[in-house]
Structure 1
Amino acid sequence: MVLGAPDCQVQRDRRMESRTVRVERGQRAQVVCVLGTRIVIDLNGGSPADCKWFSMRHSPNIETEILNSDASNQKVVNGEKLWPLSRKTVLELYMTQASAEINDGKITFAYYGKGADAPVDKSGVYLTAVGISLDVDADRDGVVEKNNPHKASWTWGPNGQGAILLVNCDKDSLFSRTVDGDDNISLSKTDLLDMSKMVLRIQGPEKLPTGYQLMLHVSATDAQSLGVFYLHSKVYTHVLGRQKLFYKTRYTGTRELEFFVEGLRFPDEGFDGLVSIKASLLETQVEGIPETPIFTDSVAFRISPLIITPNTLDPIEVYVCSVKENYLFLKAINNLVSDAKLKVRICFEYVNRGDRWMQDEMEFGFIHAPHKSFPVVLDSPRDRGLKDFPIRQLLGPDFGYVTKVADADEVTSLDSFGNLEVSPPVTVRGKNYPLGRILIGSSFPTTSGRRMTKVVRDFLQAQRVQPPIELFSDWLFVGHVDEFLTFVPAPNRKGFRLLLASPAACFRILQDKKQEGHGDAAILQGFETKRWTVTKVLSTDIIVKENGYAQHCIDWNRDILKKELGLTEDDIIDIPALFKLQDGQAIAFFPNMVNMIVLGKILGIPKPYGPVIKETCCLEDYVIDQLKPLDLTCTFIDDVVSYHKKLGEVHCGTNVRRKPFSFKWWQMEEPQSGN
């Protein structure tokens, strides 16, 4: 069939990839045609000199279109329709179905000289059609569909397309010493479940003409970010990735080859998480001459980011250390966890080596693809006594591990993960952050103080889905954002409240108690050699000045948080706190209540040992009164000796693994960078 006027079908076909084939007079070439591509034949190049006309015949499984030939000047000679032949006349064709056998598509050309009524010469092409499709789950429904038209690109949003990879950072085999992706071995079928399926679908005759081969290949850059496994001789063999840039397989007719693809690294500085794999049909015309590709199909993946969970998500498991002198603290945490109907996991001293700061060592998150999700622990570069706990005690089947290594002389207290928090989901000036935003502490903008190390900041920024906000925390001696803020769930439109430490709120409470005649009530009664009463705190000039400075620093952050999280004053609750300066930086004067553990509606709050008025602590009463409308239960935990005097509190000494977001990260509108 000759296609004349370009109807809708022809216009669609014009978007097919095309391949030029050259024919020689008196010869019949053998050509393999991949379904969905067009063959372009230069008719003038294969004709004898001085030929002005040609005729054509072809089998019914071929569709053709003649271009650059004046159809109005056609003529018929001996029953054959002849087309005018010019130097630019070409034939475009495609095959409509896969071949059942070699050369079952045929097209012949007869060439006529000026005034001749018989052909001067003939040529032709034998065609074998094959279907080749490299397929992935491009529509993100958990199923590898066939030949998705958007599989070679990746887009964000509810209607986005493109496949997703998980970093294979768990350890499914007891025989492995590190994460599964660190080697080129798949020791268990459960390991394959972490990987994304990729299928090479082939349709056609049992064999092709000699000289054709299929090849999977990746760029040298992408090879460092992915691995591909294939079942060979009953063993899943590593065939692509790292140093392996290609994998060749023989063509053996209609079949489906199932591959499993793993991610090897998270998005990071200089790596956006996008990788691609290609499948090519190679042709060798003469033995000893290099192969050339005649068809290439491509698929794109984005590697799942690490998503860190805010403390407003439902808790699953609580982690805490057992060290000298924290027995009563452990007992209180156990009771709190029992009330919340959760599990507690205690890290004993032979593992923690005296390091009690569970929050500082690690942060919990998760990775998510349509086929799988599992938790991942992000290990901080602080490398103190707990440094081996995440990889030795947490890494396992469906529990991943990742760390960022920094030069030891670059690591400061700000690289501990008490200095890394995540906001709940927010909307800011019409921009949605359905997974919240990362909050990290840094130095004051006009100073060269401490800052979280660059490798960690770059890593967090590269995940993109929780754009980081840098706050000012270097005013604190320890320097962590959890020393002045936390989030709690709330039954309001936003679903949370921001709690901020507030010396101003504390001074207001103390002033009220003094006016009520309770100026002699003590703070930290029994824990300080020097007796601090309400009146003494209010009248000590250095305390007032130092807390004026602390409040100024907190207010700086308050304004940033309101702007970057889209908050109003109604979204913020001030929690009374006092600070004192040590070597020019602030530490908590009494246990810092904002440094709490949040277990759903149950809060474990450092017991402040504030002024006792009518048998109850007035600071505790204030906090209970502020949080009661949110239906939150406050439990105050004594941590003075075991944590507070060592410059930390309840939150610093605990950690919580939480349920992941139900929101699918790939459905976000394309995220922008943070501040």
Structure 2
Amino acid sequence: MYNLADFNQVLLPNEKIATGLKDFDTFENILIYNQEVNFDLWRYLDYKPAFIMFTEIDKCLSVKWGDKPVELNKRYTTADYFKIWTSGGLTIKSNLVSKDMDDKKIIQIIDSQGRKKDFGFYVYRFSILADYYRKGILTDSESSNTDWNWGNENTGPVIMPQCSKEEIPEYRGKFQIKNMDSPINYPDSRKGKVVLILQLHHAIDPQKVMIYNGDGKLIIGGSNVRWSVIQFKTKNDTLDFYAYATQHPDRNFDGLIRIGINFAIKIIENEKEIFIPIYQEVSDSTKNTSKYPFVASVQFRVSPWIMTANTQSPRNLYVSEVPYSYFSQEGYISNQKFIDNLKQVIGDDKVKVIPEKFTRNDPWAQDETKFGYSEMPNKQNLDIILNSPRNRGLDVFPIYNIFELENKGYITCGGTGEKSSLDSFGNLDVTPPFGDYKFGRIYYGGCKDNTNGRRMMQAMREFLDAQIVQKPFQLYTDWLLVGHVDEMMSIIPAPKEISKYGFKILLSSPNRFYEILNSIKDENSIFFKDLCNIQGDKVETTVKNLKNNQELKQFNIKCQEYLDYNRSILIKELQYLDIKELNNDIIDIPALYYPDINSQDNKASAYMPGMVNLVVWENQLLIAKPFGAEVNGKCCMEEYVKSRLETKNLNLKCNFIDDWNAYHIQDGEVHCGTNMLRKPYSDDWWSYIPM
């Protein structure tokens, strides 16, 4: 419901309030076809008669006194008038538009003193065409002020964020404003000329949107510009417009953008043009809710940023070129052997090596960027690279846009708070789709129960929350030295015949390590044969030494408790019924941790290379070589993992890759040193119904 000519309210945001403007012209007001508006008749009278009677009402007009139609020649008193405000006041609606500026729709009254007054109304009709049904086709809306709704059966157009290095015109969200056989001129006010404007809703920050006209000129947004005058050339003219968001949804931006058309009076004050909207936001007296301050409007939603899970088909694998990771007794350590091993498994053309000039000797390709995408109807998905706030050597990598992608964007997220290793993207992953979550759920690590400890920075958590479609949850990783989720779990594809959702969870297990260790009869068998730590000290040890190291065993018992605590989180967040059902979908992968004495609280670091820290490439698993003791000439740890993963049902192939020197002794593994670009999901994100 709208008040006609209520000009004592706030003007367009950032505009100056005009002085002395109390009403709109004489009695020539504007109506919108089939829209019911409040008409404060008493405000147009410079006296207060005892009563009035309606003596003439144009046939196209529906006039109500409260909730009842007005009766001709019936007395309506001033006291009666103020009583009806709680039931809607005096309202007017027209089912015909004006043919031209001589075609006024008339209401005539006579007052208690016999004086007659005519109220003339010009009736206009406009339509906003947009891709309401998300099919890539512009259609009209059934409502003059549409709301955006989730689900395939609902409506609401989509726009993309402008985050590519160069503008990609086809990703602009097109909409049109059509004049529906209405006059192209508007009644002038005594205070100024009446114009039609395209306007942002007052709650929208204009810096979050850019609107272009059909000629490609930026007319709204990008700064503090909130409105633009528009002009039709004919009674059935259609004007083209294009909208971009300047960013994804975030903590201070829910991703909804309302754009509308409005009438405004242009006045000149102190040699400056000031525009005053005729339709302004008012409150519903019965529901205490706000109404949209537009003749007509459309609400867009900005496409979220969506991560892809391990079960999605791979496109490319990225790895840093690090010719001198650190200096050892053997000279500078390079990761070239590691890169060669990757190429042998998945092919030269699929391994994209990030040149050293971009890596700046930073081996952790996973930590710097995370691949995702945004999508709009009937358009190719836009690959969007999320840059982490860690800002180390590889920080230059996404900025230089060396990813070989046809359509790509780049965003960064960070905050002013103190950074920790938990802000790197080895600590950010997503499950495959499951249950109610068509796009899976993002997960990351942090401290237990959000008490004192390390967490991913708030700005990043809030950004991830704001994307909505992959509702994030937090695991407990603060017990780990680096603190990343990929240090303790990973997810692999699995047939639904042997899993609840079509995937299995690989979870680190010190218990499983000690079970295997205790089963080895030859206690002189060697773990980590001929290997050294980063200081160059020999680390090889025997089965007997590991069995007898009670301090290490007790530390791993504690680590197992932390891992079991994460199982309880997974039951709830992944919608399992109980621990038994969850454990059916968990495969324990042997792991051994040691306390880092240089860290606070002796946090855990991988003693044996972490095998859950792996890469999934279709049915190939790229796993850190564990260098376990040999039993019958084969590594006991590798054989156990193959027995669990290379089954007929899973149809996976384990490829154990030596990452000891290049990554392991620097507290990382295969997943940490690589990054994957995968194909988007087949489902449309707007089909999702938020939980």
Q: Does TM, normalized by the shorter one, top 0.5? A: yes
- Shift in CA distance, 38/449, structure 1 to aligned 2, threshold 3 Å: closer
Aligned to 1:236: 217
1:569 partner SS: helix
Contact 1:163 1:301 in 2 (8 A): yes
CA distance in structure 1 between the partners assigned to 2:54 and 2:391 by the alignment: 80
- Shift in CA distance, 51/624, structure 1 to aligned 2, threshold 3 Å: closer
Q: 1:642 aligns with which of 651, 662, 676?
A: 662
Say yes or no: does 1:550 pair with 2:559. yes
CA shift for structure 1 position 293? 0.9
- Shift in CA distance, 298/475, structure 1 to aligned 2, threshold 3 Å: same
Contact 2:431 2:441 in 1 (8 A): yes
- Shift in CA distance, 205/550, structure 1 to aligned 2, threshold 3 Å: same
Aligned to 1:541: 550
Q: 2:524 aligns with which of 520, 534, 537?
A: 520
Aligned to 1:338: 347
CA distance in structure 2 between the partners assigned to 1:311 and 1:299 by the alignment: 37
Aligned to 1:36: 34
Aligned to 2:330: none
Say yes or no: does 1:198 pair with 2:175. yes
Aligned to 1:497: 504
Say yes or no: does 1:134 pair with 2:128. yes
Q: 1:379 aligns with which of 354, 379, 387?
A: 387
Say yes or no: does 1:451 pair with 2:455. yes
CA distance in structure 2 between the partners assigned to 1:657 and 1:599 by the alignment: 10
1:83 partner SS: coil
Contact 1:57 1:107 in 2 (8 A): yes
Deviations 1:310-363 (A, max 9, x none): 222111111011112211111111122229xx7221101111011111011111
2:400 partner SS: helix
Contact 2:145 2:296 in 1 (8 A): no
Aligned to 2:587: 573
CA shift for structure 1 position 651? 0.6
Aligned to 1:610: 628
CA distance in structure 1 between the partners assigned to 2:662 and 2:64 by the alignment: 87
CA distance in structure 2 between the partners assigned to 1:661 and 1:440 by the alignment: 21
Once the two structures are overlaid, the 10-residue window that deviates more, 96-105 or 353-362, is 96-105
Contact 1:523 1:532 in 2 (8 A): yes
1:216 maps to amino acid: L
Aligned to 2:253: 271
Aligned to 2:303: 304
- Shift in CA distance, 108/522, structure 1 to aligned 2, threshold 3 Å: closer
1:395-434 correspondence to structure 2 within 5 Å: 398-407=407-416, 410-427=418-435, 432-434=436-438
Once the two structures are overlaid, the 10-residue window that deviates more, 572-581 or 102-111, is 102-111
Aligned to 2:516: 509
- Shift in CA distance, 151/344, structure 1 to aligned 2, threshold 3 Å: farther
Contact 2:54 2:107 in 1 (8 A): no
Contact 2:426 2:672 in 1 (8 A): yes
Contact 1:69 1:85 in 2 (8 A): no
1:169 partner SS: coil
CA distance in structure 2 between the partners assigned to 1:447 and 1:110 by the alignment: 71
1:575 partner SS: strand
- Shift in CA distance, 67/358, structure 1 to aligned 2, threshold 3 Å: closer
1:553 partner SS: helix
Say yes or no: does 1:467 pair with 2:476. no
CA shift for structure 1 position 631? 1.0
CA shift for structure 1 position 636? 1.2
- Shift in CA distance, 150/598, structure 1 to aligned 2, threshold 3 Å: farther
Deviations 1:564-588 (A, max 9, x none): 2134110100011112222112222
Contact 1:215 1:281 in 2 (8 A): yes
CA shift for structure 1 position 113? 9.1
Q: Gaps spanning 5+ residues in structure 1: where?
A: 1-15, 22-26, 75-81, 115-119, 173-179, 181-190
Aligned to 2:329: none
CA distance in structure 2 between the partners assigned to 1:458 and 1:70 by the alignment: 50
Deviations 1:546-577 (A, max 9, x none): 22222222222122222221341101000111
CA distance in structure 1 between the partners assigned to 2:105 and 2:546 by the alignment: 99
Say yes or no: does 1:582 pair with 2:596. yes
- Shift in CA distance, 238/66, structure 1 to aligned 2, threshold 3 Å: closer
CA distance in structure 1 between the partners assigned to 2:91 and 2:619 by the alignment: 69
1:645 partner SS: helix
Say yes or no: does 1:390 pair with 2:398. yes
1:140 maps to amino acid: R
- Shift in CA distance, 669/612, structure 1 to aligned 2, threshold 3 Å: same
CA distance in structure 2 between the partners assigned to 1:17 and 1:141 by the alignment: 32
1:651-662 correspondence to structure 2 within 5 Å: 651-662=671-682
2:298 maps to amino acid: V
Contact 1:133 1:200 in 2 (8 A): yes
Higher alpha-carbon Rg? 1
CA shift for structure 1 position 290? 6.6
- Shift in CA distance, 637/47, structure 1 to aligned 2, threshold 3 Å: same
2:562 maps to amino acid: C
CA shift for structure 1 position 463? 2.2
CA shift for structure 1 position 460? 1.8
CA shift for structure 1 position 297? 2.0
Once the two structures are overlaid, the 10-residue window that deviates more, 555-564 or 282-291, is 282-291
Aligned to 1:103: 102
CA distance in structure 2 between the partners assigned to 1:71 and 1:261 by the alignment: 42
1:17-96 correspondence to structure 2 within 5 Å: 19=4, 30-38=28-36, 40=39, 42=41, 55-56=55-56, 58=58, 62-65=60-63, 67=65, 83-87=73-77, 94-96=93-95
Aligned to 1:13: none
CA distance in structure 2 between the partners assigned to 1:472 and 1:69 by the alignment: 59
Aligned to 1:3: none
1:663 maps to amino acid: D
2:99 maps to amino acid: A
- Shift in CA distance, 617/104, structure 1 to aligned 2, threshold 3 Å: same
CA distance in structure 1 between the partners assigned to 2:311 and 2:199 by the alignment: 44
Aligned to 2:21: none
- Shift in CA distance, 160/150, structure 1 to aligned 2, threshold 3 Å: farther
Contact 2:194 2:263 in 1 (8 A): yes
Say yes or no: does 1:315 pair with 2:314. yes
CA distance in structure 1 between the partners assigned to 2:554 and 2:214 by the alignment: 71
CA distance in structure 2 between the partners assigned to 1:141 and 1:283 by the alignment: 37
Say yes or no: does 1:293 pair with 2:293. no
CA shift for structure 1 position 52? 8.1
- Shift in CA distance, 239/566, structure 1 to aligned 2, threshold 3 Å: closer
1:282 partner SS: strand
Contact 2:531 2:540 in 1 (8 A): no
Contact 1:196 1:371 in 2 (8 A): no
Contact 1:316 1:343 in 2 (8 A): yes
Once the two structures are overlaid, the 10-residue window that deviates more, 245-254 or 582-591, is 245-254
Deviations 1:615-645 (A, max 9, x none): 3222111111101231111111111121112
CA distance in structure 2 between the partners assigned to 1:527 and 1:292 by the alignment: 76
Root-mean-square deviation (Å)? 3.4
Deviations 1:105-146 (A, max 9, x none): 4547485999xxxxx765545544321233433332322321
- Shift in CA distance, 621/112, structure 1 to aligned 2, threshold 3 Å: closer
CA distance in structure 2 between the partners assigned to 1:206 and 1:539 by the alignment: 91
Structure with the higher fraction of residues in strand conformation: 1
1:320 partner SS: strand
CA distance in structure 2 between the partners assigned to 1:108 and 1:564 by the alignment: 63
- Shift in CA distance, 32/112, structure 1 to aligned 2, threshold 3 Å: closer
1:222-233 correspondence to structure 2 within 5 Å: 222-232=205-215
Identity across matched positions, percent: 32
CA distance in structure 2 between the partners assigned to 1:617 and 1:70 by the alignment: 88
Contact 1:104 1:126 in 2 (8 A): no
2:474 partner SS: strand
Q: Gaps spanning 5+ residues in structure 2: where?
A: 7-24, 82-88, 280-293, 324-333, 533-537, 577-581
- Shift in CA distance, 545/38, structure 1 to aligned 2, threshold 3 Å: closer
